[in-house]
Amino acid sequence: MNAKFGSIAVCLLWANLTYAQDLALPTPQPKPKGRLQLADLYIQTGMFYYVESPLSLADYRLLAPNSVLLKQDLSSYSTSYYPNTMSSGHFSMLAGINFREKPNWQLRVGFSQSSEYLSNLSFYKWTNKPYDTLTSAQTGRQVLIDSVYHSSYHFRHERQLMRLEASLIYRTNPERRWGFYAGIGASVNLSLNSRTTTTEYKSAYTQQRDGYNPRYDYFSYSTSSNDRTEEFVNKNSIGYSFFAPIGVDFRIGKKHAFWSRVHLTYEIRPTLQVSNIAGLRKFANFATQQNFGLRLRLGK
């Protein structure tokens, strides 16, 4: 009996000690969620529209000092420069990061890649000389034939661009099927494969001249051509841009587990771009970017 009561007493003592220890230990609390959450992945493609930079002949001679074609005397050549609107395709991937306390705001970070033709400059000249006179045996009418010599030079500076960007956008109700958003952003633009190309075109042909009128019918009896191209590698550089993304968002599915996470997006970006050409100077111009793509929701 003593052994039995002793065992009961030990068990009661152990239970009291365990209970007291449980009371002394703090109750585990769930860890608070982070303030930032990786929520979306954007995959986009589209077009980038911009105005080419006005590079002069002196600028090209600095970019390609060893060019044989740029050493030619072009004082007798005609040239005209009108800033052209250029376009290039691009591809981008962005990660969307949500703020736990501000569900309508999102930070997007990522990269995009595109090509860029910064400038095109051309010089040209035509020289006409009498070549022959054809006389009709039936009517006696004479047809004057001229030799025409055409020479032109074309200079171009181009490169690839890798943009590292970040933007902060405000989105309307994220739970609705249709959504709109707008914000501000900036990017650092790293140039890759910068190069200058010079090309010479020469051709000679004969054509009919219409009497004493200096109008040419461009009826060619024979042609020949001679082309030459030089290419020079330039140093890469760093530029930057500021933009305002404005977009619309459409969720494909309503209830399906996968398609309810897939969104179609269209976005337009008015952009102020500052391009830097190593060895020359910086150029500022306005550009427009259009993006079409997918937004994949990663979180709940």
Per-residue pLDDT of the chain (300 residues), as tens digits, is 444 444 554 454 445 545 444 544 455 545 555 688 899 999 999 998 888 877 889 999 999 999 999 998 898 998 876 667 788 888 999 999 999 888 899 999 999 999 888 888 889 888 877 777 777 778 877 777 777 788 889 999 999 999 999 999 999 887 788 999 999 999 999 999 999 999 998 887 777 776 444 444 444 444 445 688 999 999 999 999 999 999 999 999 888 888 889 999 999 999 999 988 888 888 888 999 999 999 999 866
133 part of a folded domain? yes
**Cα–Cα dist 22/16, whole Å:** 10
Count of structural domains, the chain: 1
Domain range for residue 118? 55-247+270-297
45 part of a folded domain? no
107 part of a folded domain? yes
41 part of a folded domain? no
226 part of a folded domain? yes
| Angle, CA 260 vertex, CA 254 and CA 263 arms, to 5° | 110
pLDDT given for residue 10 in this prediction: 43
Residue 177: phi and psi, rounded to 5, are: -75, -40
Q: Is the Cβ–Cβ distance between 288 and 270 less than 8 Å?
A: yes
**Cα–Cα dist 251/164, whole Å:** 27
178 part of a folded domain? yes
**Cα–Cα dist 293/92, whole Å:** 9
4 part of a folded domain? no
- In the structure encoding, which two tokens stand for residue 279, read together? 């060895």
Q: Is the Cβ–Cβ distance between 285 and 50 less than 8 Å?
A: yes
